[in-house]
Amino acid sequence: MLMTYRRHSSRILIAGSLFALTASSHVLGGQTLDPQIVKAIGTVNPKSLRADDEKLIAFGTRNTFSEEQGQGRGVFAARDWIESRFREIASQSHGRMEVMVDTFVQPADGKRVARDVPISNVIAILKGSEETSRTYVISSHYDSRNSSNSDSEKTAPGADDNASGVIVVLAAARALVDLPNRATIIFVAYGAEEQGLLGSGHHARSLKESGIDVQGDFNNDIVGSSTGPKGEKNPNRLRIFSEALPVYADMARINEAGAETDSPSRQLARYAREMGDLYARPMAGQMIYRTDRYLRGGDHMSFYKQGYPAIRFVEAVENFNHQHQDVRVEDGVQYGDLIDYMDFDYVAKVARYNIASLASAALAPGVPKNAVIQTKELTNETDLAWDAVDGAVSYEVVVRATDESRWTRTIPTGAATNAHVDLSKDNYLFGIRAVDAAGHKGVVAFPRPER
């Protein structure tokens, strides 16, 4: 069996100096810039981001319970405006982008939902060319709050939390409407994040129930300020949160494989960082190996709940006086989520970072499925196998030492769906990714041990 396996595998010999060659850069070798992505990034404009943010603030409050205020005020007025922006963008898509508002009623729960309340998600779907249902989601929430999460009267500008995420999603939709994407992209603004991720929970559940192969959610929530509470400036740093272990994690297998930093969400985070840092300099991603900040959560967690990979982008240092606060001055300190604290050059960089990673993933072939590392025998070598991926013309094995956090080397392996590597499976971590004819590289699959 093993001989048959080896005869069909591409044999790769590696010089002893392999790891001596490792560069400090976390952008792996062989990446070239795709002019389509460069062009998409070039459409991002801080002035129109500011105009969109101002528009969202002008609805006064976007609190979940402000739905009946009408006449340019409240969460549903904001919803209708976001829908109209998506429709404008869709009109340039030659019929490829479909826009919808999904409204459902959340029953009162005696806690954060004091009464039955209608909640809407605003969704734009850009169909991919692939036969499969492979889908990426770029998400945000458009509801806002002040000091009370049920106050629908007082102002709740939510300039940063989370108009910033919505304007990034709108900018990405505008930038990518012409993209010849293989995978489907869903651009979405969720309702009722502040009442417990209700809009995203509803959406992620319905994607799961429809059997959609979501290979990543890129969530943007609080991505608008580059200045921390001590006045510290971080104009070029973006945090990327990702969960350690998926809901279906098998602890025994994870311990065996040493895979505790290799969940699908982590691979997505590494990918976002690699492509973001490649295309969207000077912005640099900072990987945070944690689901979210302490005491906080976000819509990416609704995707985790369904077993989907997801990441959250957040500004580098948050000022909590500017979040979930009534607009007021107290002891000479200004509280509130005001536009004064936004940096639209920073938001533009965040949008470019999103576009780079999302477009790269949607143009590339998907993640290889059923990736395995053979552990049937005691050897000092490594044998890998995986299923063929739609659109792939070749594959790459990526490698790192077990105590490194980033992939440090790539080994092209040709068109075969297995590979033999002359490095001990006991001493390194391996991943596999698919490459298309134009050189687009997909997200890495981490192989499970097979006996």
Q: Residue 222: count other Cβ atoms within 10 Å of its Cβ.
A: 23
User: Counting contacts by CB under 5 A, is residue 292 touching Zn ion?
Assistant: no
Q: Residue 178: count other Cβ atoms within 10 Å of its Cβ.
A: 16
By C-beta, is 67 or 221 nearer to Zn ion? 221
Q: Residue 252: count other Cβ atoms within 10 Å of its Cβ.
A: 8
By C-beta, is 172 or 212 nearer to Zn ion? 172
d(CA 265, CA 249): 12
Sheet (strand 448-450) strand order: 10-12, 418-421, 382-385, 372-374, 448-450
Q: Report the nearest approach of Zn ion to the CB of residue 336 (Å).
A: 15
CA-to-CA separations, 237 to 102, 183, 208, 279, 384, in angstroms, rounded: 34, 28, 33, 14, 36
CA-to-CA separations, 83 to 79, 88, 204, 346, in angstroms, rounded: 6, 9, 20, 25
Can you say how many angstroms the Cα of residue 212 is from the centroid of all Cα atoms in its chain? Answer: 17
x-or-dash pattern for Zn ion, window 218-237, by CB under 5 A? ---x----------------
By C-beta, is 195 or 374 nearer to Zn ion? 195
146: its two tokens = 């002040």
Q: What is residue 60's DSSP assignment? A: S
Q: Report the nearest approach of Zn ion to the CB of residue 210 (Å).
A: 26
| Count of positions on this chain that bind Zn ion (CB under 5 A) | 3
Q: Give the CA count within 13 Å in the CB-facing half-sphere of 220.
A: 36
Q: Report the nearest approach of Zn ion to the CB of residue 358 (Å).
A: 20
Q: Report the nearest approach of Zn ion to the CB of residue 141 (Å).
A: 6
Q: Which of 64, 135, 162, 164 binds Zn ion (CB under 5 A)?
A: 162
By C-beta, is 192 or 445 nearer to Zn ion? 192
Q: Report the nearest approach of Zn ion to the CB of residue 351 (Å).
A: 17
Region of 49-57, 157-165, 167-175, 381-389 interacting with Zn ion (CB under 5 A): 157-165
By C-beta, is 34 or 160 nearer to Zn ion? 160
By C-beta, is 164 or 215 nearer to Zn ion? 164
DSSP β-bridge partners for residue 329: 334
The phi and psi torsions of 251 (rounded to 5 degrees) equal -60, -40
Region of 45-53, 159-167, 285-293, 437-445 interacting with Zn ion (CB under 5 A): 159-167
Q: Which of 161, 274, 292, 436 binds Zn ion (CB under 5 A)?
A: 161
By C-beta, is 273 or 324 nearer to Zn ion? 324
Q: Report the nearest approach of Zn ion to the CB of residue 324 (Å).
A: 9
Can you say how many angstroms the Cα of residue 186 is from the centroid of all Cα atoms in its chain? Answer: 12
Binding site for Zn ion (CB under 5 A): 161-162, 221
